[in-house]
Chains A and B, each alone.
Chain A
Amino acid sequence: MRRKVIFGNKLLPYLLLAPQLIVTAIFFFWPAAEAIRYSFLRQDAFGISVMFVGLENFQDLFADERYLQVVWNTIWFSFWVTVLSMGVALLLAVLADRHIRGRDTYRTLLIWPYAIAPAIAAVLYIFLFHPSLGLLGRALNGFGVPWDYRLNGDQAMLVVILAAAWKQVSYNFLFFLAGLQSIPKSVLEAAAIDGASPSRRFWTVIFPLLSPTTFFLLVINITSAVFDTFGIIDALTGGGPGNATQTMIYRAYVDGRVNLDLGSSAAQSVVLMIAVMALTLVQFRFIERRVHY
């Protein structure tokens, strides 16, 4: 016999949900609605004269070839940060999953970078790559490689990608390691007995069984590369040289907080919202189908 678990009081569930709903409304829906409203307005910094301009903020944005450059920067940056951080993390996780001496120490050390604040991570990379202060930067120039990420856009992009990916490796490593440990030993042993080589075992057994983890990390990494790398870019390059390392979120910050152009900044936020909705949709519609749970 099953007892029905239903609250008699109709109000109680809403009451219990209220804190979460209120937080969501105040901190997520209200600002989002404000962003949409602001994107149709043009106003001075103080908001003293406010003008409705329709879609003009959006038109200006897409007529600006530099904004298209920024969109491309964002795609390029997010792609490489995701590929690098997930690739390296998977490699490290596979290595750390073996029976080696001091395994726990390795694992602990690999998790450290995640605890480092983005600005500090950026400073570390400055000490590595700065052409006159940095260890590697000086060495490169010493070997005759003209290295100066403050002036060379490609080099600047490389440095921010490396820093952002490095920062993300630990997180991915943790999840991959957990994923690897949850694969039943019997499956691997069966494959080994059937004579599958280690690389074949990896690609045909381990990798597919890791796919839920990989998919989860893919979603998280892309979102974090697009939204959560502001600190690293700000501290390392400030979006420069030119606009070489400006991403969409960084440009929205610069236009809103530094240039005090709230209309354009809001329009950019709306573009970002739409982009993420589209991205999430694509991920769940097309990629999730290929995931084995």
Chain B
Amino acid sequence: MQRRSLLAGSAGLLSVPFIAPSARAQTGAGGRTEIQFWYGLAGALGERVAEQAQRFNESQDRYRVVATFRGSYPEVMSGAIAAWRAGTAPHIAQVFEVGTATMMGAGPAIRPVYELLGEAGIELDPQRYLAGVRGYYSDTQGRMISMPHNSSSAVMWLNLDAFERAGLSTTDLPKTWAEVRAAAQAIRARNAAEMAMTTAWPTWVMYEQMSSIHDVALASPANGFQGLDARMNLADPIFLKQTEMLLEMQRAGHFTYGGRDGGGGAAFPAGQAAISFNSSAGRAAVQREARFRWASVVLPHHADITTSPKNGVIGGASLWALTSRNRTAAEYRGVAEFYRFISDVEQDKWWHQVTGYVPLTLAAYEASKAEGFYERNPGADAAITQLSRAEPTPNSQGFRLGGFVEIRNIIQEELERGFQNQQNAQTALANANRRADVVLRNFERANRR
């Protein structure tokens, strides 16, 4: 009994990747080439992905995209990697933005977008895509490596009923952190909501977005875009200011920590939190659940640090074409055709409007605007405004950091220790900086060739 538990427990873990189910391509019924597509969106958004594949299948008769839900983003990524190691990788894997550096470092395992399109003779001008989206998924020469798919940005969600109860304006909404703090204080003072302020995705909103908006590198140089040697830059005053603000607000009862990752997201649609920060893709949930008047606006900035905030960064995922033994040219061609299809203005516009993700292409944005979509859905363009309000600088084009998932967790962990009064803002940042640097160095060692 003991022996069995011992082996099953300790070694079973490693055996998992080797038994990933096969995703080998076959030529399906009717002579169509099958393209396996693994995605990681659950619920309503997952249904939209399935619908997207179906629309493609109905649009032509040579390829069939088989879209399969494979669990959360990290599960899709580790599952696809394990499948690649076993020689059974799907043709397309949806990988979240923090996995970008790992995927880019995977040379022979991936097929860059520009190569795929080139081989298929399909011309897609990179300039068609939104700058903030394109930059994140391109190499240093500006060539697209992965295909933008579902991109969002973080926006500020405000409960206007709570604002009214607190005697705050519901038209002149906060734009700077000073104004947000004042609003939170008023909400607390009048007890206008259970929580004055909370946030989902603490690292993404409070550190990554703030780094980009204030044009300060999270890791220098250039957030890892120039190579594997980037070092964390959490000692910068902007991060100290941000962390101290959160800790002070939490102690004063003006900020409630809602947990890691998406954990803090539920409090806003439920009407518990007056101010919240979450992905713009949370719009569908808010629309469905909120029983109060609300607004979504661009993220606040620190007015004493910058008066002209830069673009925010995206979140979400992109599509990666994976290689495999015996993969035929027709299969790669099918992937390229699928890429072309989802970049089509009509398809992109549909995707943007039904999901709440930002459009991939400028043309779809213009088309939506011309249709009056944003007049009917005020605030739906907050994320687009935020992504495109400035020309991206090396500090605001995105992040290409190895082990970024781990780095995010490290920042969350150290922040949590700060919230527990175990350390002050400065120590939290110093610890996070040191630990994250170790992750970067290990990644550098493992990926230097």
A positions within 8 Å CB-CB of B: 27-32, 34-35, 38, 42-49, 51, 132, 148, 150-153, 219-220, 223-224, 226-228, 238, 240-243, 249, 252-254, 256-262, 265-266, 269-270, 272-273, 276-277, 280
CB of A215 to closest CB in B, whole Å: 12
User: Is B14 a contact of A226 with CB atoms below 8 Å?
Assistant: no
User: Is B416 a contact of A276 with CB atoms below 8 Å?
Assistant: no
User: Is B260 a contact of A32 with CB atoms below 8 Å?
Assistant: no
User: Is B9 a contact of A38 with CB atoms below 8 Å?
Assistant: no
List 15 A-B pairs, Cβ < 8 Å: A32-B10, A35-B10, A42-B446, A46-B81, A46-B84, A132-B194, A151-B257, A223-B6, A242-B416, A242-B422, A253-B13, A254-B409, A276-B9, A280-B2, A280-B6
User: Is B10 a contact of A243 with CB atoms below 8 Å?
Assistant: no
For A41, give the chain B residue with the smallest CB separation. B446
Of A44, A240, A262, A276, which is within 8 A of B413 by CB?
A240
**Binary interface profile of B, 65-85, with partner A (CB < 8 Å = 1, else 0)?**
000000000110010010011
User: Is A47 a contact of B6 with CB atoms below 8 Å?
Assistant: no
- In the docked arrangement, what's the CA distance between A45 and B412, Å? 23
Given the contacts A48-B109, A51-B446, A223 and B9 also touching, CB distance less than 8 Å: yes
User: Is B85 a contact of A240 with CB atoms below 8 Å?
Assistant: no
- In the docked arrangement, what's the CA distance between A258 and B98, Å? 11
Given the contacts A45-B102, A48-B108, A259-B403, A151 and B9 also touching, CB distance less than 8 Å: no
CB of B75 to closest CB in A, whole Å: 8
Of B10, B267, B417, B449, which is within 8 A of A242 by CB?
B417
CB of A253 to closest CB in B, whole Å: 7
Given the contacts A240-B413, A277-B6, A152 and B14 also touching, CB distance less than 8 Å: no
- In the docked arrangement, what's the CA distance between A242 and B413, Å? 4
Size bracket, chain B contacts = 35 or more
- Which residues of B408-429 are within 8 A (CB) of A? 409, 412-414, 416-417, 419-420, 422
For B419, give the chain A residue with the smallest CB separation. A151
Given the contacts A31-B15, A153-B420, A242-B413, A276 and B6 also touching, CB distance less than 8 Å: yes
Given the contacts A31-B12, A243-B413, A266-B14, A48 and B7 also touching, CB distance less than 8 Å: no
**Binary interface profile of B, 35-56, with partner A (CB < 8 Å = 1, else 0)?**
0000000000000000000000
User: Is A35 a contact of B416 with CB atoms below 8 Å?
Assistant: no
CB of B27 to closest CB in A, whole Å: 27
- In the docked arrangement, what's the CA distance between A242 and B5, Å? 29
Given the contacts A132-B194, A270-B10, A257 and B85 also touching, CB distance less than 8 Å: no
User: Is A265 a contact of B13 with CB atoms below 8 Å?
Assistant: yes
Contacts of B413 in A (CB 8 A): 240-243
CB of A66 to closest CB in B, whole Å: 8
CB of A211 to closest CB in B, whole Å: 17
For A273, give the chain B residue with the smallest CB separation. B10
User: Is B2 a contact of A219 with CB atoms below 8 Å?
Assistant: yes
**Binary interface profile of B, 259-290, with partner A (CB < 8 Å = 1, else 0)?**
11001000100001000000000000000000
Contacts of B263 in A (CB 8 A): 150
Contacts of A45 in B (CB 8 A): 78, 81, 102, 106
- Which residues of B380-419 are within 8 A (CB) of A? 403, 405-406, 409, 412-414, 416-417, 419
For A30, give the chain B residue with the smallest CB separation. B15
Contacts of B291 in A (CB 8 A): none
Contacts of B406 in A (CB 8 A): 258-259, 261
Contacts of A238 in B (CB 8 A): 260
Given pairs A28-B11, A241-B413, A252-B13, 10 additional interface contacts (CB within 8 A)? A45-B81, A46-B85, A49-B449, A51-B446, A150-B258, A151-B257, A227-B10, A261-B403, A269-B10, A273-B7
User: Is B81 a contact of A260 with CB atoms below 8 Å?
Assistant: yes
Contacts of A150 in B (CB 8 A): 257-259, 263
For B7, give the chain A residue with the smallest CB separation. A28
- In the docked arrangement, what's the CA distance between A44 and B446, Å? 5
User: Is A34 a contact of B109 with CB atoms below 8 Å?
Assistant: no
User: Is B11 a contact of A34 with CB atoms below 8 Å?
Assistant: yes
CB of A133 to closest CB in B, whole Å: 8
- Which residues of B348-374 are within 8 A (CB) of A? none
Q: Does B22 contact A (CB under 8 A)?
A: no
- Which residues of B293-328 are within 8 A (CB) of A? none
Given the contacts A151-B419, A219-B1, A35 and B14 also touching, CB distance less than 8 Å: yes
- Which residues of B108-127 are within 8 A (CB) of A? 108-109
Contacts of A256 in B (CB 8 A): 13-14
CB of A205 to closest CB in B, whole Å: 28
Given the contacts A240-B416, A260-B102, A42 and B445 also touching, CB distance less than 8 Å: yes
For B266, give the chain A residue with the smallest CB separation. A133
Q: Does B442 contact A (CB under 8 A)?
A: yes
Contacts of A242 in B (CB 8 A): 413-414, 416-417, 420, 422
For B194, give the chain A residue with the smallest CB separation. A132
Given the contacts A34-B15, A242-B416, A260-B102, A226 and B9 also touching, CB distance less than 8 Å: yes
Contacts of B16 in A (CB 8 A): 257
Of A44, A151, A253, A265, which is within 8 A of B420 by CB?
A151
Given the contacts A150-B257, A242-B413, A132 and B442 also touching, CB distance less than 8 Å: no
- In the docked arrangement, what's the CA distance between A132 and B267, Å? 9
User: Is B10 a contact of A272 with CB atoms below 8 Å?
Assistant: yes
Q: Does B107 contact A (CB under 8 A)?
A: yes
For A256, give the chain B residue with the smallest CB separation. B13
User: Is A269 a contact of B420 with CB atoms below 8 Å?
Assistant: no
